[in-house]
């Protein structure tokens, strides 16, 4: 494939959300990482894209936001919240135990990260979250300071997401990011909607430590948009249902595995 054709495909891949990861480009273009980086450098020098940690985003008006009436792919929050609830509650409790009093943390929207909220009371945390469900759960905690980004509310997940290519996050840095996933496998952490990938990459860029919260049902062979590789995760918290094979995959990637009880 000629460089011109690769550049066309890169821009076409970027168009829906304004962001793409290196891994997605490697799979789509069947090109080496070095070739892809050269193509991205050329597009950046032409003013078409900006290279960022883990991938690239479109510049300015080339990033087209998704129409406000379009829903995110995936299961609505109100349905997903009931699935594997006991496991998610145990995972949320184990994750909250990692938070130090008075610390700043980021909590990505999701039904498993949501289960952290009851256990954060009294820690006087500063929390950046894009989830209105999490905001609502934290509001009764007088010592918890809450920050949210600007953007569009996607009602089924009750999550705030910025237009593609736009960085709407407050100037905020946190030692730890707590995030969920639609699936986890050897290729990495996946979501069902590419617009979620762009939002989560913005959070990843602001964290020193990434803590992934997933129940054991998420370890499946699945296709999806890759948020990050397992090697970008520091700690993974799951339940006792994880298989020995999946546990070995996590540990072999250099990730600390925590089994919530």
Give 114-131 pLDDT, tens digit per residue: 999 999 999 999 999 989
Output the average pLDDT for the chain. 83
Residues 245, 225 contacting (CB under 8 angstroms) = no
Question: Which of 117, 105, 121, 106 is CA-nearest to residue 81?
Answer: 117
Checking 74-80 for CB contacts under 8 A at 24+ apart, the result is: 74/157, 74/182, 74/191, 74/192, 74/193, 74/196, 76/156, 76/157, 77/111, 77/133, 77/156, 77/157, 77/158, 78/156, 80/111
Average pLDDT value for residue range 42-57: 80
Residues 129-162 have pLDDT tens digits of 989 999 999 999 999 999 988 777 876 667 777 6
Domain extent listing, the chain: 3-62, 77-260
- Furthest C-alpha separation in the chain: 59
CATH match for 77-260 among 3.40.50.1360, 3.20.20.70, 3.40.640.10, 3.30.420.10: 3.40.50.1360
DSSP letter for 59, please: -
Backbone conformation region of residue 24, classed left if phi is above 0, alpha if psi is from -120 to 50, else beta: alpha
Select, from the ranges 20-34, 44-58, 229-243, the one with the highest average predicted confidence (pLDDT): 229-243
Q: pLDDT tens digits, residue range 225-247?
A: 788 889 999 999 999 999 999 99
Of the pLDDT bands very low, low, confident and very high (cuts 50, 70, 90), residue 34 is confident
For residue 75, the model assigns a pLDDT of 62
Whether 77-260 and 3-62 are alike in CATH topology: the answer is: no
CATH of 3-62, one of 3.40.50.2000, 3.40.50.12280, 3.10.310.30, 1.10.10.10: 1.10.10.10
d(CA 19, CA 21): 7
Task: Report whether 198 contacts 52 (CB < 8 A).
Answer: no
**Backbone phi, then psi, for 201, in 5-degree steps?**
-65, -35
pLDDT > 60? residue 164: no
Higher-scoring residue by pLDDT: 73, 44: 44
């Amino acid at each position: 494939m000629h460089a011109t054709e690769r550049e066309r495909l890169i821009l076409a891949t970027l168009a829906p959300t304004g962001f793409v990861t290196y891994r997605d480009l490697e799979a789509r273009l069947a090109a080496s990482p070095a070739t892809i980086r050269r193509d991205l450098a050329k597009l950046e020098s032409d003013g078409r894209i900006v290279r960022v940690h883990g991938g690239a985003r479109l510049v300015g008006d080339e990033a087209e936001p998704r129409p406000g009436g379009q829903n995110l792919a995936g299961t609505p929050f109100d349905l997903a919240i009931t699935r594997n609830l006991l496991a998610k509650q145990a995972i949320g409790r184990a994750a909250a135990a990692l938070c130090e009093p008075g610390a700043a943390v980021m909590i990505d929207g999701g039904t498993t990260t949501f289960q952290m909220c009851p256990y954060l009371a009294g820690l006087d945390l500063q929390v950046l979250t894009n989830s209105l469900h999490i905001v609502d759960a934290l509001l009764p905690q007088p010592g918890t300071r809450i920050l949210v980004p600007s953007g569009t509310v996607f009602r089924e997940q009750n999550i705030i997401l910025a237009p593609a290519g736009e960085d709407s996050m407050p100037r905020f840095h946190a030692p730890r990011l707590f995030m969920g996933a639609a699936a986890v496998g050897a290729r990495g952490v996946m979501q069902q909607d590419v617009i979620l990938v762009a939002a989560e990459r913005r959070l990843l860029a602001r964290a020193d430590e990434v803590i992934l919260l997933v129940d054991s049902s998420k370890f499946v062979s699945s296709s999806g948009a890759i948020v990050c590789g397992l090697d970008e995760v520091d700690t993974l918290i799951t339940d006792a249902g994880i298989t020995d094979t999946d546990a070995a995959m996590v540990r072999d990637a250099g990730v600390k595995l925590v089994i919530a009880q």
